[in-house]
């Protein structure tokens, strides 16, 4: 049973859920491309679609529908042109890998540019219990930059 819909912040959980379900039924090959479509026409009869091809297309459409059912409205636009499950899976993977990389780069930039004036240290200190009020006061009123290792060693002295 699928309990998660794909959102911008839950790709790993969603993907784990989908892969687990489909691998359990030996169907994940439709998504990763290892189960490929059989020949559409038999060598001797090029007018009728083979039973194997019809069966594969049926299974693939069911799986594509299953995948779409786990998407939110704003996510469906990334797979709307996909005709088979494998294409939809690749579209989503490419989209969310790109988003994940962009988010990682953004967070790295934020961490590198965080300074004392950003209030991060003040917020962290305000989260301490009241028994640390004296330490918080001393650290907040100091004029010099508080480095994490310096404040940790300062706190450990108490």
Spatial separation of the C-alpha atoms in residues 101 and 105, rounded to whole Å: 6
Residue 74 shares a structural domain with residue 133: no
CB distance 63 to 85 below 8 Å: yes
Mean pLDDT by 10 residues, the chain (158 residues): 84 90 92 86 71 91 95 92 95 86 76 61 74 75 55 56
Residue 49 shares a structural domain with residue 85: yes
Assess if residue 33 is contained within a domain.
yes
CB distance 78 to 91 below 8 Å: yes
Spatial separation of the C-alpha atoms in residues 131 and 128, rounded to whole Å: 8
Residues spanned by the domain of 67: 11-113
Residue 60 shares a structural domain with residue 40: yes
pLDDT value for 85: 96
Q: What pTM was computed for the model?
A: 0.58
Query: What is the domain count for the chain?
Result: 2
Helix, strand, coil percent content, the chain, rounded in steps of 5: 65, 5, 35
pLDDT value for 152: 55
Place of tokens 């590198």: 112
CB distance 89 to 67 below 8 Å: yes
pLDDT value for 109: 76
pLDDT value for 108: 74
Burial of 88 (0-12, 13-18, 19+ CB in 10 A): buried
Residue 137 shares a structural domain with residue 108: no
Assess if residue 147 is contained within a domain.
yes
Residue 109 shares a structural domain with residue 121: no
pLDDT value for 44: 63
Residue 34 shares a structural domain with residue 88: yes
Residue 102 shares a structural domain with residue 124: no
Residue 145 shares a structural domain with residue 85: no
Assess if residue 34 is contained within a domain.
yes
**What angle in degrees, to the nearest 10, is found between the helix axes of 148-156 and 133-141?**
140
pLDDT value for 143: 47
Assess if residue 108 is contained within a domain.
yes
């Amino acid at each position: 049973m699928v309990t998660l819909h794909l959102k911008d912040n839950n790709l790993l959980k969603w993907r784990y859920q989908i892969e687990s379900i489909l691998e359990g039924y030996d169907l994940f090959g439709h998504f990763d491309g290892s189960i490929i479509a059989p020949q559409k026409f038999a060598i001797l009869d090029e007018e009728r679609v083979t039973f194997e091809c019809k069966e594969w297309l049926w299974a693939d459409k069911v799986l594509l529908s299953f995948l779409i059912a786990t998407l939110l409205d704003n996510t469906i636009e990334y797979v709307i042109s996909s005709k088979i499950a494998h294409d939809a899976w690749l579209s989503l993977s490419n989209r969310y890998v790109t988003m994940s990389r962009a988010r990682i780069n953004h967070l790295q930039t934020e961490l590198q540019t965080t300074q004392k004036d950003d209030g991060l240290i003040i917020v962290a200190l305000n989260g301490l219990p009241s028994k640390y009020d004296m330490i918080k006061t001393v650290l907040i009123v100091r004029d010099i930059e508080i480095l994490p290792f310096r404040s940790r060693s300062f706190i450990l002295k108490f």
